Amino acid sequence: MSKPTVFLARSLPEAALNHVSQFCHLRIWDESKPLTREALAHELADVDGAMLTGIGADAELVKHASKLKVISTATVGYDGFDVAGLAEQNIYVTNTPYVLDETVADLLFGLILSGARRIAPLHEQVKAGNWTKQTTAQSLYGQDVYNQTLGIVGMGRIGEKIVHRAKEGFGMKILYHNRSSRPEIEKKYGAKKLELHELLEQADVVVVMVPLTEATKHLIGKEELSKMKETAILVNGARGAVIDEAALIEALKQKTIFGAALDVFEIEPLPPGHPLLELDNVTLTPHIGSATAATREAMALRAAENLVAGALGQKPRDALS
């Protein structure tokens, strides 16, 4: 039996490449050239599987890909993929859940601390030589984290990891807003489920961890921001469009909330001159939730395993439909 052929939009770490090449013929895009939608459609036309990390796909894109059985992505998020439309053409879409949970939770708690204690802005102040004997103590003040109230919007796996760090390490009170109740979280951590407006009114730190859907786009907007405490921190580790960025910028400028810490944005990378770059009450990181070598390698291997399974005609472990 001949090996199936798969297309990789970018190369992979050695262990993942080795796994794929053991079972499949590989075709890897030359990353020095832009992969246009037209070129991608051409590449998919005669392969059994594809890995498209960072690139979306829909039914129209694959209408001539008669052999295609699986599209794998080495990410948790899959909002760029029309999962239902691709399933109608008998194409699996797979992601990489679980692998990155602890790593992302580490970063999110780092963002909580930086947002509250202004670590990133004050770091820049020191580097710029603006910490002098004339600097007032009050100008360096931040907000406490220990024993404060954490509100998680979207209590999934990563939300639970953040809660563990908050409760066990910082003695925080836990509130959450979620489509469904999480009684095991309530029992283990004393968490309380609230409506969104109640959580925003009560939390000292609000962490947004919902997936991006039509229902969650701009879930946090002007009205929601107005309900938050003036001393509150807003942290986003989900998708940029879950927060109305223009409304957040206005709230930060007017100091109706204390600060924000963001790993995701409506436009990525942030363009030069973006208003967020001018503010001194934000921490900004370049979408690095899972960005450690060990985690990215583990995600690539998991994505490779999904790709191989689908290309061989099996249902992948992480099939989304």
Taking only the tens place, the pLDDT of each residue in 12-41 is 999 999 999 999 999 999 988 999 999 999
pLDDT of residue 261: 98
pLDDT of residue 62: 96
pLDDT tens-digit series, residues 280-291: 999 999 999 999
- pLDDT average, residue stretch 182-208: 98
- The interaxial angle of helices 101-117 and 157-170, nearest 10 deg, is 50
Mean pLDDT, the chain, rounded, equals 97
Task: Please check whether residue 236 is in contact with residue 243, taking contact to mean a CB–CB distance below 8 angstroms.
Answer: yes
% of residues, the chain, pLDDT over 90: 97
Closest by CA to 151, choosing from 162, 142, 138, 141, is 162
- pLDDT average, residue stretch 188-214: 97
pLDDT of residue 284: 98
Range with the poorest average pLDDT among 53-57, 92-96, 154-158, 250-254: 53-57
pLDDT of residue 77: 87
Distance (Å, whole) CA 100 – CA 45:
32
Q: What are the catalytic residues? A: 239, 268, 287
pLDDT tens-digit series, residues 48-76: 999 998 899 999 999 999 999 999 999 99
pLDDT of residue 129: 97
Tell me the whole-structure pTM to 2 decimals: 0.91
Distance (Å, whole) CA 15 – CA 75:
17
Q: How far is CA 251 from CA 45, 220, 226, in A?
A: 48, 12, 8
- pLDDT average, residue stretch 171-192: 98
The b/e string for 285-316 (b: 16+ C-beta within 10 A; e otherwise) is: bebebbeeeebbbbbbbbbbbbbbbbbbeeeb
- pLDDT average, residue stretch 69-95: 95
For residue 171, count other CB atoms closer than 10 A to its CB: 11
1, pLDDT greater than 70: no
